[in-house]
Structure 1
Amino acid sequence: MSAYERQMSGGTAPRRVLSHALLFALLCSTALVAASGNAAAFEIFGIKLWGSSEDEDADIVDPLRYAVTIEAPDADEDLAEKLENASALKDDEDRPVSGSLGLLAKARGDRDQLVAALYADARYEGVVIITIEGKPLDDLPPDAEFSGPQPIPVVINIATGPKFTLGDIRLEGDAAGLAGADFGLIAGGDAGSGAVLKAEASIVRALKEEGRPLAKVTEREIVADHATSTLDVTLTVAAGPVAGYGDTTVEGTEKVDRDFTEYMTGLKRGRQYSPEEVDEARDRLLGLEVFNSVTLKEADSLDADGNIPIGVEVSERKPRYFGLGGTFSNTEGLGLQGYWGHRNLFGRAEKLRIEGKISGIGSNELTELNYNAGIMFEKPGVVGPASKFFAGANTVLEHPDAYDRFSVKGNTGLSYDLDRQQTVSAEVALDYSKITDSFGKHTYLIASIPLRYVYDNRDNRLNPTTGFRALAYAEPSYDVLNGAAFVKLRGEGSAYQALDAASKFVLAERAAIGSIIGAGLQDVPADRR
């Protein structure tokens, strides 16, 4: 038992109920917040270019600097790192606090965070003692003053204690028929606070997937047995009735149409509730790119018809955006690009984007510069919330090593999300181009029907650490001017797997295959080969 726990409980006991402590541990481990003031000094990559620490201190009332030492001799390297990361005192060591009261408050909060970190690692006998100027935190009066030379010495001594494992597991109430092992609650298994609460959330989720939106844990008893270093867990769960969706109400819209936002959730009144559908609705609204944040909340009770009302809270993004950029290299010269866009053109998340790019300035003759200009339009929800209409036009003048090309192209089509992982799309396109390559000068007018299927279960599309993405693409094409017909086929896949628990190292693999069927090489435009 930590010193802090002894203070709160009034003594030690061989078995203790820890439900509130576990909840607090989860909150601490998932929401560590550090506040900082505005700094007058300017620093980049750890190098202060101008200003000084005195400039920073001027923004803080009665600035008090301190130095932290963390002593955890029993902790292995991994736990020691977790404890250091949990310490706000350590993280903010280079920033002064506001006087002695600020240091006391920060130290008390730090002790809570460190106890939470120990619980997350199943260390329920851990002891955290913090001393300031050699005096234990619990012995200091609320108005203690630290007048010694700065930085004030702060020592955090941590005795981690043994690592607990799960003991007796009991699921009661409407969860009595469920097996704890299916949710990671196994005797002898991981007893960390995060693991226990994750299992609890999984049990509730399993019941909600049966269409029970009011499923919840009604009673939680978690007892640490210090004699055996085990954690006994008893969860009582109320499943609640099966229900459908009630009314969907939207708050926070300003320029985006409120009825359209409700429509795009796809949650039809009376259809059986599904937590996965609610998640899909949130993702779909975020995918409109007109909202900074989207929150869907289920009501605490059913309506008169036995349905669950859904509340949607949104905050809007700025509708217009633009950008300018440039590149330079000694081989390709200067390149300039710019774009302008609107995310909510007519109030229903219609997107318009105009962009242009020029490259090769300085390295090529004016007649050999590369140009690219385009305009794109998207309208979501045309045939259901999961659909999107798109159209575009662009013109290209480019001079790569293999050919010279001038092209004007237009396309229009429809995409549809089958679910959160699968998307299909089809479009029609017309491309007029003049190309000079090793086969001579040619003029083409290609009519095509690009078809695409994408499966994507990556955990994060911008920075994936697990999962894979697969693409199947077919484009039947016909050259109206020359009478050539061909089909372009392509398949590709990429897979990702983290090699460590922190996902610092990720193994990524990619493979692709393609072919053109139905026409000779000289009959296919150079940019499509």
Structure 2
Amino acid sequence: MRDARDIASKARGHVWLRPIGYALCLTVSLALLPHTTHAFEIFGLKLFEDEASETLEIVDPLSYTVTLDVIGNDPDNALQDRLKAASQLVQGAERPVSGSIGLIQRANGDFEQLVAVLYENARYAGEVSILLNGRNLAGLPADANLEGQAAVPVRIVVTPGREFLFGDVNVSTSDGQSYDAGDTELVSGAVARSTVILDAETALIQDLRGAGHPSAKVSGRDVVADHANGVLDVSLTLDDGPVAAFGATSVDGAQSVDSDFIAMMAGVPEGERYDPEDLAAAARRLRALEVFSSVNVREGESLSADGSVPVGISVSERKHRYLGLGATFSSTDGGGMEAYWGHRNLFGRAEKFRLEGSFGGVGSTSNPEDLTWRGAALFEKPGVLGPASKFTSHLEVKQEDPDAYRRFSVEGGVGLGYELTAEQSVSAGLVVEYAKLTDSFIVDLETITVAVPLEYVRDTRNDKLNPVTGTRLALLVEPAYEVNSGATFVKLRAEGSAYQALDAEKRFVLAGRVAAGSIYGADLAEVPANRRFYAGGGGSVRGYGFQDIGPRDGAGTPTGGLSMLETSAELRIQITDTIGIVPFLDAGLVSSSESFSDSSFKAGAGVGLRYLTPFGPLRVDVALPLNKEAGDPDYGIYAGIGQAF
């Protein structure tokens, strides 16, 4: 069979539709750039800085040397390490103080810090002595003169004493009723760290507030150390206060965003029982609108006359108009650029409007007409069915020419998303696409596809751009109908990723991803080429060209498939605060059937470089194909913003 892509009549779209795409690609308003320029830093370089940095000058500088000794039982020097970390004398030994007064002040502050560390480690019979030039701090007058040599010797001696355990523990309410300490560590026989008492108080008050008591507080605390028996007796008295409901919500700081809309989107339920989780959810929803630089949702300091809890919201609006440029590069697919302009508050209720334009394939083709380009207009309106809902719509004109097919398309769609919880959301939409396709099966095929995408997402990642903990799961069910051929099919896709830091500093992060999908109800040729499954490239299996993994026709052109399976594993290693390296392994397969029966895995491995910035890591990956076949590249280089997944 002759390669359909070699036929002169390639799908480029109707002539009258092309200007729409070109116009959307080029729509970027530079006139909205700010007229004043402030200093900013990028890649470690400070630009437009007009003020010299100031250095504080120390009057009458006095240097000192310091030692810290722990006398007594201290396995593995664990307590000594904590004491050194808390000691300003130790941590600041390389920085001179301001004369003898400065050294005495630093030592006095150190004494309190060191005693606090002993209490945090259940050592209530401990002793701390600080000697300045051989003289005990406890007996030094405030104006003592310690000078006389180049560096004043400072010696800290800590005798920690025995480790105390909790003895009698009593928690009660202000009316004398016993109160269960719950899951706290404040129990008889446990190690009596002072932090356990404070943490237990915080947890108990949070429990009471969660039960509708906004005024709950600790009204009494009695802590007695029994030195003879090495136990600490603790009595806590809780004042729970009345159960209250939420009152009215007030808003301040709003300028161009409607105040009533802000209160509605906060969604604090007036008249319902007080719950601090509702306030946290309100702040999260308002931040997600992306129209505010700061959001503060707070309860009133006291109850209103009717016994309700007033709610105050303070916001500070950010600039509503924005624009940006971006670039990508792949050694297998060429380079590209993207430009966009957007408005975050189009009609005063956080409506988002955005115009996007991009082109790609630079360097991968000598024919300008073969470049990929895209133009799109997107609109989003939050709060259409309550604060947890969001309406979206888009219009997109696109031309692309990957190895598998050539496509010109015009697509429009609407959707509705709903936030079930802070971590879970669902969405449904309606998409209509006109496409002109040339692939291995047919030339200039015109399709009109109507699809109904239904998606569920559960996302617990701590950071969307550079996660170190958490998971993300996305499930897609998309019934579709191709009008011209009458084909009906359902596309299923599932993708999950997980992230786990391997050390306390979170400099070693293990990341993994698995994705799978199948199309049911139609043969491969009946499914429009752009809706089939493909694998390979920077966002898939690195080391291979874009869409190059999977079945091919007699001419070696990828046909796409009815099923797909991908997996990736990375070890993200942070070398410095800004530089990281990432060894990785990817694998994937694409099958022309739903059962994966006629396919085998292809794998790629490599290493990446990351440069961490406030807007996400800059990424460069180099990968080698481990199952190289004819037509596969020797290596792949991929660059972009953000982690690979």
Instruction: Establish whether TM, by shorter chain, passes 0.5.
Output: yes
Contact between 1:72 and 1:160, CA under 8 Å: does it hold in 2? no
Alignment of 1:330-409 (within 5 A): 330-365=331-366, 366-409=368-411
Q: In the alignment, what sits opposite 2:171?
A: 171
- Structure 2 CA distance, aligned partners of 1:57 and 1:156? 33
Query: Helix, strand or coil: the match of 1:255?
Result: coil
| Conserved 8 A contact 2:66-2:93 | no
Deviation at 1:236, TM superposition (A): 0.7
Q: Deviations along 1:49-101, whole A, 9 cap, x unmatched? A: xxxxxx98855353847566463553746555544544455556666666665
* Aligned AA (1:440): I
Q: Which moved more, 1:122-131 or 1:484-493?
A: 122-131
Q: Amino acid of the residue matched to residue 400 of structure 2?
A: E
* SS of the residue 1:438 aligns to: coil
Structure 2 Cα separation of the partners of residues 461 and 121 of structure 1:
37
Asked whether the equivalents of residues 75 and 160 of structure 1 are also in contact (C-alpha less than 8 Å), the reply is: no
Equivalent residue, structure 2, for 1:420: 422
* Per-residue deviation, 1:406: 2.8
Which residue in 2 is equivalent to 1:30?
A: none
Among 516, 519, 522, the residue aligned to 2:522: 519
Structure 2 gaps, min length 5: 1-40, 45-51, 533-645
Q: Does 2:233 match 1:236?
A: no
Asked whether the equivalents of residues 60 and 97 of structure 1 are also in contact (C-alpha less than 8 Å), the reply is: no
For residues 104-119 of structure 1, what are the structure 2 equivalents within 5 Å? 104-119=104-119
Partner SS for 1:182: coil
Q: Does 1:71 align with 2:71?
A: no
How far apart in 2 are the matches of 1:130 and 1:344?
A: 60
| Paired residues, number | 479
Asked if 2 retains the 8 angstrom alpha-carbon contact of 1:66 and 1:153, the reply is no
Q: TM-score, normalised by structure 2?
A: 0.65
Change (3 A) 1:148 1:259: farther
Q: Specify the alignment match of 2:256 in structure 1.
A: 255
Matching residue's letter, 2:57: I
Shift, 1:261, TM fit = 1.5
Residues 491 and 368 (structure 1), Cα distance of their counterparts in 2 relative to 1, 3 Å cut: same
- Asked if structure 2 preserves the Cα contact closer than 8 Å seen for 1:72 and 1:80, the reply is yes
Question: Any conservation in 1 of the 2:429–2:454 contact (CA below 8 Å)?
Answer: yes
TM-superposed deviation, 1:484: 1.5
SS in 1 for 2:257: coil
In 1, the alpha carbon distance for the partners of 2:118 and 2:221 equals 20
The letter of the residue matching 1:414 is L
Residue identity opposite 1:395 in structure 2: V
Instruction: Describe the superposition over 1:444-476 as per-residue Cα deviations: whole angstroms up to 9, x where unpaired.
Output: 222111111123345555555555433221111
Inter-partner Cα distance in structure 2 for 1:63 and 1:331: 64
> 1:15-164, aligned counterparts within 5 Å?
59-62=56-59, 64=61, 66=63, 69=66, 71-73=68-70, 74=74, 76=76, 79=79, 82-88=82-88, 104-130=104-130, 136-138=136-138, 141-143=141-143, 156-164=156-164
Q: Which moved more, 1:183-192 or 1:114-123?
A: 114-123
In the alignment, is the contact (CA less than 8 A) between 1:204 and 1:217 conserved in 2?
yes
State the alpha-carbon separation in 1 of the partners of residues 158 and 53 from structure 2.
31
As a proportion of its length, which structure holds more helix?
1
Name the aligned partner's letter for residue 426 of structure 1: A
Separation (CA, whole Å) in 1 of partners of 2:58 and 2:446? 74
CA distance in 2, matches of 1:475, 1:273: 40
Q: Secondary structure at the match of 2:201?
A: helix
Question: Are residues 285 and 474 of structure 1, via their aligned partners in 2, closer, same or farther at CA, if it must alter by over 3 Å?
Answer: same
Q: Percent identity?
A: 47
Give me the whole-angstrom Cα distance separating, in 2, the residues matched to 1:362 and 1:95: 56
SS in 1 for 2:183: helix
What TM-score, normalized to structure 1? 0.78
**Deviation per CA, 1:267-317, whole angstroms, max 9, x where unpaired?**
232112122222211211222222233333222432222211122233333
Structure-2 residue corresponding to 1:445: 448
Q: Secondary structure at the match of 1:443?
A: strand
Q: Is residue 64–residue 100 contact of structure 1 (8 Å, CA) maintained in 2?
A: no
Structure 2 residue identity aligned to 1:408? V
Distance between the aligned counterparts of 1:459 and 1:467, measured in 2?
Answer: 6
Offset of 1:134 from its aligned partner? 5.6
What's the counterpart of residue 212 of structure 2? 211
Cα gap change, 1:56 to 1:424, in 2 (>3 Å): closer
Give the distance between the partners of 2:217 and 2:433, measured in 1 at CA. 57
Look up the SS of the partner of 1:281 in the other structure. helix
Corresponding residue for 2:488?
Answer: 485
SS at match of 1:440: coil
CA distance in 1, matches of 2:463, 2:165: 32
The code of the aligned residue for 1:195 comes to: V
Partner residue, 1:195: 196
Distance 1:287 1:104, change over 3 A: farther
Q: Report the Cα distance in structure 1 between the residues aligned to 2:370 and 2:324, rounded to whole angstroms.
A: 25
Q: Taking CA–CA contacts closer than 8 Å with sequence separation of 6 or more, which of the two structures ends up with the larger relative contact order?
A: 2
